[in-house]
Structure 1
C-alpha cells in the first residue's frame, strides 16, 4: 500500500510531517495496552484544554486556511481529546482502533487506520475534484466539495473528508480486517520528531501483540 501527498498540498502546508506503517495479522482479540497513553493525555489535559495545545492549534490554522470553521470541523485528535476531557475515557471499538485513538490523544496528533482490502491501488492526499465518492458510517454516499483535501484511491473513493476531520465508513476497520495502513500527520513546529515517536509507539505495541509491522 502506497500513500503520497500531492505537491499542491505540500506547497500549501510546508511544515507537514507524515508517518505511516502497515500492519498484518490484526484480529478483534489482539491484546493492547491503552492506559499508559490515556493517562499521558489526561495529565496534559489537567494543565489546560486541548484547544491550547500547539498540535491542535496548527490543525485549526490549517482548517481555517481550507475555508473550514475550526470549531465546527475539528481534526480527529482534537475530537478525541475533547471527548476524553468530558467523559474521562474513550469508547472501545476494535483493538487496533482503540490503540491508535489512545496514542493519538497521548500525542495530540491525528491517526488514521484504514482497511487495506477496501482501498483500490495507491492513496493520494489531494484536493477533491468533487466527483469522488465518500461513504459515511451510516452507509450514505457524499461527494466532497471541490478543493477539499481528501484521501483518494485510484477508483475515486474518498477514504477521508476534510483531511484529518473524518474517515470513511468504506475502509473502516471491522471484525474481518486483517491488514491495515496507519497514517499520522502533524503540522506543528516539532511535528517531524513527534510523528516519528508516535509511529514508533504504535509499532511497538502492535509488535508486542504479535502483529507483523512494516515501516517504509
Structure 2
C-alpha cells in the first residue's frame, strides 16, 4: 500500500508539510486518558491566550480553504474544529483510545491529524488529489456523497473518498472502531515552520502508540520530492474484512 499527495497538490500548496505513520496491533483497550488529558490541557492553555482562529497554524489552513473557494468559517480544518469545540464545550469527544489520543495531540499542536482504519482502504494507492466527481464518500450518518470535481480528497484505488474538502472531514467508511487493528495516520500543516511541527507530531504519536500498545510504528516525512509512503497492506488475523 502506498500513500502520497498528488504532484498538483504540492505544486498548488508549496508550504505543505506532511507526514504519515502506519502501525498494527492498535486495539480498543488502552488507558490513554491521562495522556489525552495532558495534551488537552496544553491546547486549553493556548486557547486561554487567543481564539483558535488567530493561531498561525489555523490561519494558514483558512487561507488554503479560501484559495480552494471555500468559506473558511463554514468549512474548518479538523484541528480548528477540535479547538473550537474544546473552547466552547470544555472537552473533546471520546471515540476510541487511539482516536482520542490523536485528537488531543492534533488540538495541542493545532494541525489536522487523520486516523484511518487501514483495512478499510483499498490499495495499492491512497492519494490526496483533486476529485473527479465520481468518487464515493460515506458520511458518518451512512449517507453516500460525491466530492465535487476539483475538490481535494483522499481517494483510494477503488474510487472511494476518505475525506471531504481535504482536512475538513474524514469518512465514516474508514473510521477507527473497536474492530480496527491497523491504522494509517496522516498529519498535515501549511504554516511557516510546518515541517518541524509535523515531525514533532509524528514523533509524539509514535511514542504514545509504542507506550500504550507496545507497537513499533513506521513513519515518514513527505515532501514534494519524496512524497510517497509505502507500508504493508496485509490485514491482521482476526480483523474485520472490508
- Structure 2 counterparts to residues 64-213 of structure 1, below 5 A: 64-121=66-123, 122-209=125-212, 210-213=214-217
> Matches of 1:201 and 1:109 in 2, distance apart?
13
Report the secondary structure of 2:162's partner residue: strand
Measure, in 2, the Cα distance between the counterparts of 1:29 and 1:212. 17
Q: Tell me the number of residue pairs that the alignment of Structure 1 and Structure 2 aligns.
A: 216
* TM-score where L is the length of structure 2: 0.88
Deviation readout 1:44-80 (Å, 9 max, x if unpaired): 0000100000000000000001100000000000000
Partner-residue secondary structure (3-state), 1:90:
coil
CA distance in structure 2 between the partners assigned to 1:215 and 1:111 by the alignment: 14
What's the offset of the Cα at 1:212? 3.0
* Secondary structure in 1 matching 2:15: coil
What is the Cα-based RMSD across aligned positions, in Å? 0.8
Native 8 Å contact 2:22 2:218 kept in 1: yes
Runs of 4+ aligned structure 1 residues displaced above 6 Å come to none
**Structure 1: runs of 5 or more not aligned:** none
* CA distance in structure 2 between the partners assigned to 1:41 and 1:10 by the alignment: 29
Unmatched tracts of structure 2, length 5 or more = 221-242
Report if aligned partners of 1:25, 1:212 keep a CA contact under 8 Å in 2: no
1: CA distance between counterparts of 2:154 and 2:94? 25
Contact 2:202–2:219, Cα closer than 8 Å, also in 1: no
Provide the rounded CA distance (Å) in 2 between the counterparts of 1:186 and 1:123: 19
Per the normalisation by structure 1, the TM-score is 0.98
